[in-house]
Amino acid sequence: MENALKITNLKKTYDNDFQALKGIDLEVKQGDFFALLGANGAGKSTTIGIICSLVNKTAGRVEVFGYDLDTQREEVQEHIGLVPQEFNFNIWEPVIEIVVNQAGYYGIDRKTATQRAEELLKHLDLWDKRNGKAQELSGGMKRRLMIARALIHKPKLLILDEPTAGVDIEIRRSMWDFLKNLNAAGTTIILTTHYLEEAESMCNNIAIINKGEVVESTSMKELLSRLQVETFVLDLKEPLDQVPNDCELSIQIRDPYTIEVELDKSRSLNYLFEILSKYHIRASSMRNKTNRLEELFVKLVKTDNDSLAEKDVSDLDTPAQSGETA
Amino acid sequence: MTNTEKLTAFKTILYKEVMRFLRIWVQTLVPPAITMTLYFVIFGNLIGSQIGDLDGFKYIEYIIPGLIMMSVITNSYSNVVSTFFTAKMFGHIQEMIVSPVPNHIILLGYIGGGMARGLMVGLIVTLVSLFFSSLHIEHPLITIAIVTLTSMLFSIAGLINAIYAKSFDDITIIPTFVLTPLTYLGGVFYSINMLSDFWQSVSLANPVLYMVNGFRYGILGVSDINPYASFSLLVVFIIGLYSFAYYLLKKGVGIRS
């Protein structure tokens, strides 16, 4: 399958000699929903900036659907839609003008642009606000406006730089649905986010950048499979004040009625309940803790920071033996 | 992009720019009308009546072309410098940078916006001047050509200022300390023949003098400067500054990291 994006040995050194990217390689397949993760200052936004022509690269090559950024910039730009991290529209302009004008920059005539803007704004629940100034929109609406603006020219590659930052959970979930549908319809999506459950639930493949280097690039499934333990959250029928001394499980008490239990993947759930029964711990409900990717992310970044990049991730996934666990 | 798409992109930028200054017409169109009315009243009527004729014209008739030109220069420049700098500051310049719109089109769009405001204000000031004096245009084509080229030149200059500007102070320094003195000393209110030889020579180094006099020649048929010199200077400056602005934009100075 053709690559939507191929980055080879991309480097960026800013004027103040800060080396933001130290030669990263990345491939995103057409139709993929790809997560690009990294801590603040890791190099995500610089990478996106270079792809979108907002930042000049120092070295390396960027290709979008086979078009070279250096020699075919126009073609590259025609295929990309960007939802940046910061609100960057003119807040004094009417909502519909922002979207229609953006289409104009891609050479789309005003009539067609207005029709498309109507479709998008209705879809993103902004149609009623179309004649109001953008400054009157709430934070969630502003985010959706940026998505509408990025999609007006029907890009084949949509890049979202933390699109749900500061958005309440209800709107975030509706945006997830919107993006999933968009991806299902064929748009390749690259997502950066600090909500790791967002990346976990939506993305098929993932790359993690740390200090200007790609420390991991694989499928989400493969990455998550490296977890050797799974963490369950249990609500208890009776309070538990202290973890039994000789308990075979790693248990953390969140509060007297809630515990977190780590279970080795080789063990079955029956084993978990056997042990809990043995200590007369009775659960009323149980759920998966949803921060699996977060655990891996922290470990990968930490590993790299500790100069242990070569170490196999699975080595690190033994249950934590902190003072809070038995 | 095809040529049709480029034209659409140009029209979009121009439309956006025109709508911007029309949205805030109280800030952009009304003040120059009021200021120039005061100039006409004070310098034209009150003081002008004491001065007598210049080059065979009443003083108020003599200064009208200069005052129109002054408002065109100021407004063309300030429109582009403020809109482009604001777009940089608040990031909406990125809307264009991420799109395939060529740099020439971005340049022409912003220049077109500056010219639209400059010429619109020029027209308003011209209409205001009719309350104080009759206006007979001696050479209409020269008048239109000079005012259009001047507006274009100062729109480009405003854009270059905005590209380099890093704060709001930076967009007021050039208009305050360079543009205003050059305009006031550019023969708006006097003929350089009234000056000593030394100051006449110094005045000839002021490019605004050529524009004001070229415009005055178009309207009144009198000028301190050969109108061909005015045209030549304008064309050379426009080509030079346009090329420079294009280079800055292509390199991403002040726009790309």
Give A157-192 pLDDT, tens digit per residue.
999 998 877 777 778 888 888 899 999 999 999 998
Which is it for strands A258-264 and A33-38: parallel, antiparallel or unpaired?
unpaired
- Give the best residue of A91, A99, A105, A149 to mutate against chain B (max B CB count within 10 A): A105
Closest approach of A123 to chain B, Cα-based (Å): 22
Is the residue at B75 inside a domain? yes
The pLDDT of residue B104 is above 90: yes
Is the residue at B57 inside a domain? yes
Which residues of chain A make contact with B9, given a CB cutoff of 8 A?
Answer: 104-107
Residues 6+ apart with CB under 8 A from A277: none
Q: Taking the CB of residue B178, how many other CB atoms lie within 10 A of it?
A: 12
A62 and A170 inside one domain: yes
Residues of chain A with pLDDT under 50: 307-326
Please say which residue of A224, A242, A274 terminates a domain.
Answer: A224
Closest approach of B145 to chain A, Cα-based (Å): 30
Cβ–Cβ pairs < 8 A, chains A and B: 91
Inspect the interface and report whether the beta carbons of A106 and B9 lie closer than 8 Å.
Answer: yes
Task: Supply the pLDDT for residue A53.
Answer: 92
* Sheet strands side by side (includes A67-68): A19-29, A3-13, A59-64, A67-68
A183 and A293 inside one domain: no
- Give the best residue of B89, B95, B107, B253 to mutate against chain A (max A CB count within 10 A): B95
Of the candidates B210, B109, B55, B117, the one whose C-alpha atom is nearest the C-alpha of residue A101 is: B109
Is the residue at B256 inside a domain? no
Inspect the interface and report whether the beta carbons of A53 and B9 lie closer than 8 Å.
Answer: no
* B143 neighbors B219 (Cβ within 8 angstroms): yes
A129 and A174 inside one domain: yes
B52: phi then psi, degrees, rounded to nearest 5: 95, -165
Task: Tell me the average pLDDT across B201-228.
Answer: 92
Is this complex scored with an ipTM above 0.95? no
Distance between CA atoms of B121 and B75, rounded to whole angstroms? 7
Q: Taking the CB of residue A317, how many other CB atoms lie within 10 A of it?
A: 18
What is the number of domains present in chain B?
1
CATH number of the domain encompassing residue A255: 3.30.70.1560
A216 and A234 inside one domain: no
Please say which residue of A224, A242, A269 terminates a domain.
Answer: A224
Which residues of chain A make contact with B22, given a CB cutoff of 8 A?
Answer: none
Of the candidates A273, A289, A187, the one whose C-alpha atom is nearest the C-alpha of residue A230 is: A289
Task: Supply the pLDDT for residue A305.
Answer: 55
Reported as type and span, the H/E element at residue B62 is helix B59-89
A216 and A241 inside one domain: no
A220 and A232 inside one domain: no
Distance between CA atoms of A101 and A108, rounded to whole angstroms? 9
A88 and A210 inside one domain: yes
A209 and A296 inside one domain: no
Read off the pLDDT of residues B53-91 as tens digits, 9 standing for 90 and up: 888 888 888 999 999 999 999 999 999 999 999 999 999
Distance between CA atoms of B209 and B199, rounded to whole angstroms? 13
Closest approach of A138 to chain B, Cα-based (Å): 18
For residue A320, which amino acid is it?
Answer: A
DSSP string, B128-157: HHTTTS----S-HHHHHHHHHHHHHHHHHH
Residue B79 tokens, joined:
């429109």
Domain that holds residue B180: 3-251
| Range with lowest mean pLDDT among A273-277, B17-21, B154-158 | A273-277
Distance between CA atoms of B74 and B154, rounded to whole angstroms? 8
Which residues of chain A make contact with B102, given a CB cutoff of 8 A?
Answer: 74
3-state class (DSSP) for residue A10: strand
Is the residue at B257 inside a domain? no
Please say which residue of A194, A224, A254 terminates a domain.
Answer: A224
A288 and A220 inside one domain: no
DSSP string, B203-250: HTT-HHHHHHHHHHHHHHS--SS-HHHHHHHHHHHHHHHHHHHHHHHH
Distance between CA atoms of A197 and A200, rounded to whole angstroms? 5
Inspect the interface and report whether the beta carbons of A55 and B96 lie closer than 8 Å.
Answer: no
* Of the partner residues A78, A86, A153, the one whose CB lies closest to the CB of residue B91: A86
Domain that holds residue A254: 226-326
Sign of the Cα pseudo-torsion (B103, B109, B110, B111, in order): positive
Distance between CA atoms of B8 and A272, rounded to whole angstroms? 66
Task: Supply the pLDDT for residue A65.
Answer: 94
Inspect the interface and report whether the beta carbons of B101 and A106 lie closer than 8 Å.
Answer: yes
Residue B14 tokens, joined:
């121009």
Which is it for strands A213-219 and A157-161: parallel, antiparallel or unpaired?
unpaired
A325 and A184 inside one domain: no
Which residues of chain B make contact with A14, given a CB cutoff of 8 A?
Answer: 257
Which residues of chain B make contact with A20, given a CB cutoff of 8 A?
Answer: none
Which is it for strands A258-264 and A250-255: parallel, antiparallel or unpaired?
antiparallel
Which residues of chain B make contact with A101, given a CB cutoff of 8 A?
Answer: 12, 15-16, 95
Task: Tell me the average pLDDT across B186-213.
Answer: 89
DSSP string, A169-231: HHHHHHHHHHHHHHHHTT-EEEEE-S-HHHHHHH-SEEEEEETTEEEEEEEHHHHHHT--EEE
Residues 19-38 of B with CB under 8 A from A: 19, 23
CATH number of the domain encompassing residue A188: 3.40.50.300
A200 and A110 inside one domain: yes
What is the number of domains present in chain A?
2
Q: Is B52 left (phi over 0), alpha (psi -120 to 50) or beta?
A: left
